[in-house]
Amino acid sequence: MENSTKLASAVNEISDRLENELDSGLDLLKSLIGFQSVNPALTDSGFEKAELPAQEFLEEWLYSRGWDVELWEPDSEMLKDNYKGEPGFVEDRKFDGRPNLVARLPYSHNQRTLLLHGHIDVVPADESGWEVNPFEGAIKDNRIYGRGTVDMKGGLAAMLFASSAIADSDINPLGAVEFATVSDEEAGGMGTLALAHRLKNNDIPYSGSILGEPTNLMVAPVSRGILWGKIKIEGRSGHIEVNQPHWEEGGAVDAFRKGLKVVRAIDDLNREWSKRPDKLHSLLPRPCMINIAEFNAGHSPTSFADSSEITFNVQYLPQEQDEKGLGTKVKAEIEEHVARAAKLDPWLEEHPPEIDWIIDADSYELPRDHEFFKKTKEGLESSDLEFELGGVETHTDAGRIGYLAGIPTINLGPGEMRFAHQVNEHLAVENFLKAAKIYAALILAHLGMD
């Protein structure tokens, strides 16, 4: 009871400080939004080293406030030697001018460390319909707008806002906060793989880690695994305005129509998955699904498509992972289903669709009886801050930190995931402030106080 009262009092003190200094927290967030840290793998040109200025800004900001800071570029060849074929590894990814950042702030004693982390890269903001400059951080109607406000610069700024408020107070946590930002999360997760390798090989005792992905401030111990793939369907071109003989007699085969058959087969599998218990999780609102992201076919308005290509996204759960943490079983099920469907069509039976797997991003779950989860729950409840439990429908980098680095991890951040990657991405100012209060409470709860 005494410890709970002490924690509640300290959290109230820091919360008051955060409310009084909210403008400085928002200024930090605006500064981060102002950097067009677009992942270069998601755009054609002009963003080859776009994450670098944002990381250099954070380096200077942290250093000026007493943090020990290091910028370092991941070693792609080392990662290939150690992790090829494992979650988070992406072939041919380069990191010249694309550093990760790790910073450490010892409050008093180094008895334990809490890791706060996330990614600095964002998706492009070149869609039409933006009502504001997506890299300005405009505030309208108590919301801050811009690419990355939700995913996930809002969480990063709130973490630093909270950590600094504690450092500027008379409260002495019994340990250190470590803060890390990675490049390349939005296109596979090689930056986090490099971070996890580094963390695994140091001798720092971590209480746990908080990944600031947008959960609308829910404590989310689970996130889905994600597969990206392409299905290539062969056809045969021919004049679209001319009556064609049967394909066995040399006639055209419309790869667009054949592709639609594959799409319908995927729809059939989705209907099956929607009823299967192994595709459901108690903290997630929907079963795992296969979603079509792109359908490309054809080369001329006067010709039948000689090929088509379907790009798709698959979700899977922790219990479906193999011993390496990959979605191998899910891949096999999809391959077998598409192959069976192809045998019902004479052309596709002779020219079976080819599946090319692009990315396998692992799922993650922290057991709810784990000490770090229980301490998180107790810390929020003791601080009179709402504890809400949920899950993340997308992939997050929690698995590499949790499984590879061996640091128990929760997802917890401001903003709703549905606004991520959208036109007019935005974050409520109130949500940002509450996130900072929650992070402050968890720093104090997990590290303890003098």
Phi, psi for 326 (deg, rounded to 5): -105, 160
Architecture of domain 225-361: 2-Layer Sandwich (3.30)
DSSP of 91-141:
TT---TT--EEEEEEE-S--S-EEEEEEE--B-----TT-SS-TTT--EET
> Closest by alpha carbon to 185, among 177, 194, 176, 198?
194
Burial class (CB in 10 A: 0-12, 13-18, 19+), 333: middle
Model pLDDT, residue 46: 80
Model pLDDT, residue 450: 83
DSSP of 295-356:
EEE-S-TTB--SEEEEEEEEEE-GGG--TTS--HHHHHHHHHHHHHHHTTSHHHHHS--EEE
The distance from CA 38 to its chain's CA centroid, rounded to whole angstroms, is: 14
How many Cβ atoms from other residues are within 10 Å of residue 135's Cβ? 17
Q: What is the distance between the alpha carbons of residues 340 and 290, in angstroms, rounded to a whole number?
A: 17
Instruction: Using pLDDT thresholds of 50, 70 and 90, give the confidence band for residue 180.
Output: very high
Instruction: Using pLDDT thresholds of 50, 70 and 90, give the confidence band for residue 2.
Output: low
| Candidate from 100-114, 182-196, 279-293, 338-352 with smallest mean pLDDT | 100-114
% of residues, the chain, pLDDT over 70: 99
Q: What is the distance between the alpha carbons of residues 134 and 85, in angstroms, rounded to a whole number?
A: 36
* Residue that wins the pLDDT comparison between 1 and 262: 262
User: Contact, 14 vs 1, CB < 8 A?
Assistant: no
Mean pLDDT of 256-273: 98
Burial string for 171-208 (b: 16+ CB within 10 Å, else e) reads bebbbbbbbbbbbbbbbbbbbbbbbbbbbeeeeeebbb
Question: Residue 183 above 70 pLDDT?
Answer: yes
DSSP 188: T
Q: What is the distance between the alpha carbons of residues 354 and 309, in angstroms, rounded to a whole number?
A: 10
Model pLDDT, residue 428: 97
Phi-psi region of 92 (alpha: psi -120 to 50; beta: other; left: phi over 0): left
Question: Hey, what CATH class is 2-222+363-447 in?
Answer: alpha beta
For the chain, the domains span 2-222+363-447, 225-361
Phi, psi for 298 (deg, rounded to 5): 85, 165
* Catalytic residue numbers, as ranges: 121, 185
User: Contact, 240 vs 303, CB < 8 A?
Assistant: yes
Model pLDDT, residue 384: 85
User: Contact, 35 vs 54, CB < 8 A?
Assistant: yes
> Closest by alpha carbon to 288, among 265, 263, 313, 268?
313
* Residue that wins the pLDDT comparison between 43 and 355: 355
Q: Residue 181's beta-bridge partner residues?
A: 101, 118
List of residues 6+ apart from 429 with CB closer than 8 A:
22, 26, 139, 142, 143, 144
Measure Cα distances from 136 to 48, 57, 433 in Å. 21, 16, 20
Query: In this structure, what is the dihedral angle of CA atoms 157, 158, 163, 164, given to the nearest 10 degrees?
Result: 60
User: Contact, 83 vs 149, CB < 8 A?
Assistant: no
Average pLDDT, the chain: 95
Q: What is the distance between the alpha carbons of residues 301 and 297, in angstroms, rounded to a whole number?
A: 11
DSSP of 201-215:
TS---EEEEEE----
Mean pLDDT of 344-352: 98
Place of tokens 């004693």: 109
Q: What is the distance between the alpha carbons of residues 333 and 224, in angstroms, rounded to a whole number?
A: 17
Collapsing DSSP to helix, strand or coil, 146 comes out as: coil
